Amino acid sequence: MRAYVLALVLALPALAACSGGEDTAAESAKLSTQDVDTKWQADAEEALGAEVDLETLKRQAAVDCQRTDVANWVVTLGTSGDTATSAVTRVGLQQLCPQVEDVFAEALVEIEGAADVNALVCSQPVAKLDSEERMKLDFIC
């Protein structure tokens, strides 16, 4: 009987830890998400030099993750009129879709090295543009 009681006493802490494991994992995941968001916001604010709205950045990054080819990025960057926010865009890509970051970087190099950005933009074969980008492209070209 003593062995049974001793085994039960020793097993109770382990059982308690097992029953709360899901809560601990959920809390850990929530903290991890908060840490990522905090870092994302800090990196974006550092890159831009101003306060940013993280939810807006997340929405924009989700759209940016759909741009998976250089031509699309060249048009997007070229029609924006301002590549100064490219550092903030890069931060968003790093957080949500790092596989797109190389394509973005290649397009940024093309834009920054172009003698005539409008000519470069107008020469791109793009199929996927939203209506605002299409309107800007039509105006430029």
User: To the nearest 10°, the Cα dihedral for 12, 27, 65, 111?
Assistant: -120
Q: What percent of the chain has pLDDT over 90?
A: 30
- The pTM is what? 0.68
Number of H helices, E strands in the chain: 8, 0
Report which secondary-structure segment, H or E, holds 17.
helix 2-19
Q: What is the pLDDT, as a whole number, of residue 33?
A: 73
Band of pLDDT at residue 6, cut at 50, 70 and 90: very low
- 49-83 pLDDT, tens digit per residue, is 778 888 988 898 999 999 999 999 999 998 887 76
Rounded to an integer, what distance in angstroms lies between the CA atom of residue 46 and that of residue 91? 10
- Residue that wins the pLDDT comparison between 3 and 138: 138
Does residue 110 register a pLDDT over 90?
A: yes
